[in-house]
Amino acid sequence: MCGILVETSWKGSEVGSVILGIGINIAHESIPPVDELQFPASCIDDEHGQPIPRYEILKMVVNTLFEWRKEMGKPEFFQYWQEHLAFQGEPVRIIEDGKTIVYGRQSGILPDGRLEITTANDAKIGITAGDLHLRPEK
C-alpha cells in the first residue's frame, strides 16, 4: 500500500537531517498490473471501500510525522518502530555499492537506528546503509 525510503545526513556522530520519501497507493489506478508485481499490492481506496480525499491522507501523514518528530531518538520511538517494523524474521540480502555485504534475517532496529540482521550462524550485525532485498538469491 505504501513505501518509505529514509536517508540521513550525518554531522560527525550526530544525525544532521533525515530525508523521507513516501509513496502511497491511494487510488486503484496506482497499482501496477498483477503480472508486474513482485509482492501483493493494494490501495487505500480499495481497502476502505470508497474513495478517500488525497488531501485528507496528506494531512494525516504530515500531522503524524510532526507528532513523531518530537519523539525521535527516545526509547518510546524505537520501541514503537520495533513493534511495527515490517518483514521481521524474513530472509534478506543487503547490498552496498553493488556488492552483497550480508545475508540473514531482518531482526529489528538497534537503538542507534541501524537495521539489525541475524546471520545464519546467529551473529547480530548492525547495518547503517545499503539496499535491502527481500528475495535473497545467493
User: pLDDT by residue for the chain (138 residues), tens digit each?
Assistant: 888 877 777 777 676 777 888 989 999 888 888 888 877 889 999 999 988 899 999 999 999 999 988 887 788 888 888 888 888 889 998 887 778 778 899 999 887 778 899 998 999 999 887 888 887 665
C-alpha cell of residue 5: 525510503
Same domain, yes or no: 11 and 61? yes
- 128 lies in some domain: yes
Which of 66, 61, 127 is CA-nearest to residue 96?
Answer: 127
- 123 lies in some domain: yes
Place of cell 531482526: 107
Beta-carbon contacts of residue 136 (< 8 Å; ≥ 6 apart): 91, 92, 93, 103
Same domain, yes or no: 46 and 8? yes
Contact 44, 50 (CB under 8 A): no
- For residue 105, the enclosing domain spans 91-133
Total structural domains in the chain? 2
Same domain, yes or no: 31 and 60? yes
Same domain, yes or no: 13 and 46? yes
CATH of the domain at 97: 2.30.30
pLDDT at position 138: 55
Place of cell 546503509: 129
Same domain, yes or no: 55 and 108? no
Contact 55, 61 (CB under 8 A): no
CB 131: neighbour CB atoms within 10 A?
Answer: 12
Between CA 133 and CA 20 the distance in angstroms is 19
Between CA 70 and CA 1 the distance in angstroms is 26
- 82 lies in some domain: no
